Amino acid sequence: MMNVNEACEAFKKLVEEQLARVAAMDTTKTDFATKKTVTIGVIDGDGIGPIITTAAARVLEKLLADEVAAGSIVIKQIQGLTIENRMACGKAIPDDVLAEIKSCDVLLKGPTTTPHGGTMESANVAMRRELDLYANCRPVCIPEKNIDWMFYRENTEGEYVLGSRGVELPGMAVDFKVTTDAGTRRIVRAAFEYAKNNGKTHLSVVTKANIMKKTDGKFTAIAHEIAKDYPGITVEDYYIDIMTANLLKDPLRQQFQVIVLPNLYGDIITDEAAQIQGGVGTAGSANIGDKYAMFEAIHGSAPRMIERGMGHYANPASIIKAAALLLRHICRPEAAAKLEDAMANCPAVITGNESGATCEEYANALIEML
C-alpha cells in the first residue's frame, strides 16, 4: 500500500516514462516487397496454443515450401513463452525469448495465459510494447449478411499500457489511461490509409468522449483533424456503448466499413464482432508496427478445454486466418488468397467436440486442398 505522496511520485515516474516512450518512437518501416529473406517466428503459447499453432505452422510450411527450400523464407520455432517459464523468470517475456523474437521479422503466435491478479503483465501487452505493434487489425466478414468490417484498434496505449502499474492506497485503487498525440495519429492514419487503399468510403471513430473528455476527447479531435486529408471518406463518431448495440442492428450495421478506436474498446467490441461472425475461434488478428508484426488468434488459451481433455478438438480457424493476414503482410497475396479459398471450401467441420473433426484432421484436410 502507498500513501498519497508515494502515489504521486509513482504517477510522476509513469508520466515521465510515457513521454520518453513517445520520444523514442521509430517510424522506419520494413519493406517486405524488397526484403530478400523473411524470418517467421512461430510461438506455441499455452493451453490449446501448441495444438492450433502447429496446425497453422503446417499450413504455412506447405504454402511456402519452395521459398523455404530456396532460403527466402525462414520459419523458426521460438520456445519459452509459456506461463510456467514466464512465472519462473518473473517476466512477461523472458529476456532470452525476447531476443529470439526480435531476431524475426514477423511472428505467428499462439494464445498465452495471463495470471489473474498479481503484477505479472500480459505477454501480449508486453510484446506490443517491446515491438511497438501499435495497430491491431481485426477483419470480420459475413458476405451473406452484407457485413465487411475492418477494426483498427490502438494497441500500445489506453488502459493497457499501464494496466499492471496502477497505485493502491488504503481503501482505494487507481489505474491509468494514456492517450498521446503521436500514438493516436499513427493508428488513425493507418485506418484511413487502409480505407483509401481498399476502396472504403466510411470510417467510424468509436470512443466514450462524452465521459473520458481528456483522453477520448483527444482521440476524437485528432481523428477529425486527420480526416481532412481524406476528403473521399465519410467520418462518423459513435460512443462505444451504442456501437456495441449497432453491430447487432440491421440494416444500420451494413454501412460500417472501417472502425478505429482506442485499446480497451477495441478489445471488447472485436470479440462481439467475431461472435457475430461465428465465434472468437473464427477471427484472426494482426498486430502491426513499422518494423515488426505479430499475427494471432483473438481468443485465449482455453484452459477448460485442456482440463476436460478436449484440446485436440480446438478450432484452428482463427490462427489460420491470422496466417493468411501474415502472408498478405509479407507481400505473398497469392498464397494468402489460396489459403482463404481453401478455408472457405474445406470439407472438415470443427465443432469443438466429438461431433466434428479434430484440429489435426481439419489441418490435414486443408493441406490436402492446398
If asked whether residues 146 and 269 sit together in one domain, one would say: yes
Three-state DSSP state, 178: strand
Average pLDDT over every residue of 141-146: 94
Domain holding 202, by residue range, is 134-152+164-277
Q: What pLDDT is recorded for position 115?
A: 80
The DSSP string of 42-88 is EE--STTHHHHHHHHHHHHHHHTHHHHHHTSEEEEEE---SHHHHHH
If asked whether residues 241 and 273 sit together in one domain, one would say: yes
Beta strand 172-174 with 167-169: parallel, antiparallel or unpaired?
Answer: antiparallel
If asked whether residues 244 and 312 sit together in one domain, one would say: no
Is 192 within a domain? yes
Share of the chain above pLDDT 70, in %: 100
Measured in degrees and rounded to the nearest 5, phi and psi for residue 293 equal: -150, 150
Give tens-digit pLDDT for 301-357: 999 999 999 999 999 999 999 999 999 999 999 999 999 999 999 999 999 999 999
Q: What pLDDT is recorded for position 243?
A: 98
The one-letter amino acid at 333 = P
**What average pLDDT is seen over the chain?**
94
Of 277, 308, 329, the residue that ends a domain is: 277
If asked whether residues 207 and 182 sit together in one domain, one would say: yes
Give tens-digit pLDDT for 84-119: 999 999 999 999 999 999 999 999 999 999 887 777
Q: What pLDDT is recorded for position 99?
A: 97
If asked whether residues 264 and 212 sit together in one domain, one would say: yes
Q: What pLDDT is recorded for position 225?
A: 98
Question: Does pTM top 0.85 for this prediction?
Answer: yes
Confidence of residue 72 (pLDDT cuts 50, 70, 90): very high
If asked whether residues 262 and 317 sit together in one domain, one would say: no
How far is 311 from 141, CA to CA, in rounded Å? 27
If asked whether residues 171 and 255 sit together in one domain, one would say: yes
Of 277, 311, 330, the residue that ends a domain is: 277
Those residues with Cβ within 8 angstroms of residue 186's Cβ, 6 or more apart along the chain or in another chain:
27, 134, 135
Is 16 within a domain? no
If asked whether residues 142 and 270 sit together in one domain, one would say: yes
Those residues with Cβ within 8 angstroms of residue 107's Cβ, 6 or more apart along the chain or in another chain:
40, 41, 42, 43, 78, 101, 127, 292, 293, 294, 295
- Angle, helices 359-369/333-345, rounded to nearest 10 degrees: 120
Q: What pLDDT is recorded for position 161?
A: 83
Is 38 within a domain? yes
Is 250 within a domain? yes
Q: What pLDDT is recorded for position 299?
A: 87
Is 173 within a domain? yes
Three-state DSSP state, 139: strand
If asked whether residues 303 and 265 sit together in one domain, one would say: no
Is 114 within a domain? yes
Is 2 within a domain? no
From 114, 122, 107, 132, select the one nearest 53 (Cα to Cα). Answer: 107
If asked whether residues 188 and 272 sit together in one domain, one would say: yes
Domain containing residue 110: CATH number: 3.40.718.10
Measured in degrees and rounded to the nearest 5, phi and psi for residue 78 equal: -110, 120
Domains held by the chain: number: 2
If asked whether residues 106 and 168 sit together in one domain, one would say: no
Beta strands in 143-226 (DSSP E): 147-154, 167-169, 172-174, 202-207
Confidence of residue 163 (pLDDT cuts 50, 70, 90): confident
If asked whether residues 191 and 105 sit together in one domain, one would say: no
Confidence of residue 209 (pLDDT cuts 50, 70, 90): very high
Is 207 within a domain? yes
- Residue 282 pLDDT exceeds 80: no
Of 223, 244, 277, the residue that ends a domain is: 277
